[in-house]
Structure 1
């Protein structure tokens, strides 16, 4: 996969056990609810049904992460979570992580990648729509642990 110009400096790799502390710290700093626990991250690192991705750039080892789930027998992958450090936002980290998640889904022969996003997360919605994701289905009322609603998005993978 050739990176887009906006993501050329950002490198994405599969997370390793040595990333566990950074994964947990970013999760706790980014989200107030619906957090992935240390034990869950640890389990996902070795799971065939999940891919934990880490973004880095300019000698920074850890700028963001994405968690993608795969279900056996399904051609639909799910982008469960994506987060980046505050100083990395708006610098192509999210785009690079999403492109890597799409590549991982294609490797698994998935035909689409789906995700949920809080209806008030305007920057994430703009990013997803710019990358070709389209809203599907009705608003998911009370989707998140705190009762917030979510939009569902999907992108067909070529």
Structure 2
């Protein structure tokens, strides 16, 4: 039985993330089907997946009300956490993770230690120097998805405020 954690991974809910085989086609889908027309595109960005390993992704970000949407297209490197959810052929969009915004670096460290001590698999663990620290925990067996835990520096929070805002979906 898994130990009960003192910090709920659902507190500080920030984001719903999807993986896709084609970020441009996924943006088009969200524009037409979900009325989310404004996106920030981050093509070919490289992120740290685990210390010493990196992957390259096409990412698109948008807010709908207070919820951030993220679209991720894996391109190369250590991207199996993203790629494994996708079919080998054809276009697809698949739910991948939700993200929790953690309000301090100390709380981030505490939560990371608690998750590891509870035996929750940590499958992504990295940072964007000067902007954010993040880790993903694997809850696919119990919830059907990953959870990203993220802490932003003040500069990272300021950058997030620049992301496109879409009205609440009616």
Structure 2-normalised TM-score? 0.31
Select the structure that is richer in strand.
Answer: 2
Q: Which has the larger radius of gyration?
A: 2
Higher RCO, 1 vs 2 (CA within 8 Å, ≥6 residues apart): 2
Structure 1-normalised TM-score? 0.32
Select the structure that is richer in helix.
Answer: 1
